[in-house]
Amino acid sequence: MQEMSLRKRYQFILIFMAFIVHGIGIAFNVMILVPGFTEVRPVNAVPVPGGMMFGATAGLACAFGNLAADCFGQLMPSSTLGFIGNFVAAYLPYRLWYIYRDEKPNVHSLGNLMLYVWLTFVSALSVNWIIGSGMWLIFGIWTETLNLYILYGRKR
């Protein structure tokens, strides 16, 4: 049996992760937090670990999966910001890991675990900045509640 090529593996990963993000995103489209902008999405736990394992491929999968989930709920021009934010949420931690470590991502030591937690925070902050600032700069809409939900996952 011939071994699957690297390109085929990445294509499989891209499709599989997009399917997961899309499926879970659709399931929670009914739990709206800020009407017209965001809803409860437990799938937002996928980009960081997925990105740490598969880099840009996972970023694209999360971005397209999020956009596909928006098609079944709140697809708007601002969904492009969610597309960009989800890509960055997966790809940025992957790139930063290799700046600080010479090994593959793992949490086998306290230092690596602390780095992973820090990268998760940086990822959330970057998505908050992309979506929140993008809404303000491009669409002229400032929503403090939206920013709090994106960054902290809850209202103040």
> Could you give the 3-state DSSP secondary structure of residue 95?
helix
Q: CA-CA distance, 11 to 138, in Å (whole number)?
A: 33
pLDDT band at 48 (very low <50, low <70, confident <90, very high): very high
7-30: pLDDT as tens digits: 777 777 777 777 777 777 667 666
- The mean per-residue pLDDT over the stretch 96-107 comes to 93
Phi, psi (5° rounding) for residue 36? 85, -5
> Per-residue confidence at 88, pLDDT binned at 50, 70, 90?
very high
From residue 18, alpha-carbon distances to 37, 67, 90, 109, 133 in Å are 21, 10, 12, 30, 26
The reported pLDDT for the residue numbered 110 is: 96
Q: Using 50, 70 and 90 to split pLDDT, how confident is the model at 64?
A: confident
Supply the pTM of this predicted model. Answer: 0.76
Task: Write out the two tokens for 26.
Answer: 């659709």
Copy the structure tokens of residue 71.
């098609």
Say which range, 46-50, 67-71, 92-96, has the weakest mean pLDDT: 67-71
As a dihedral over the C-alpha atoms of residue 34, residue 41, residue 137, residue 57, rounded to 10 degrees, the angle is -170
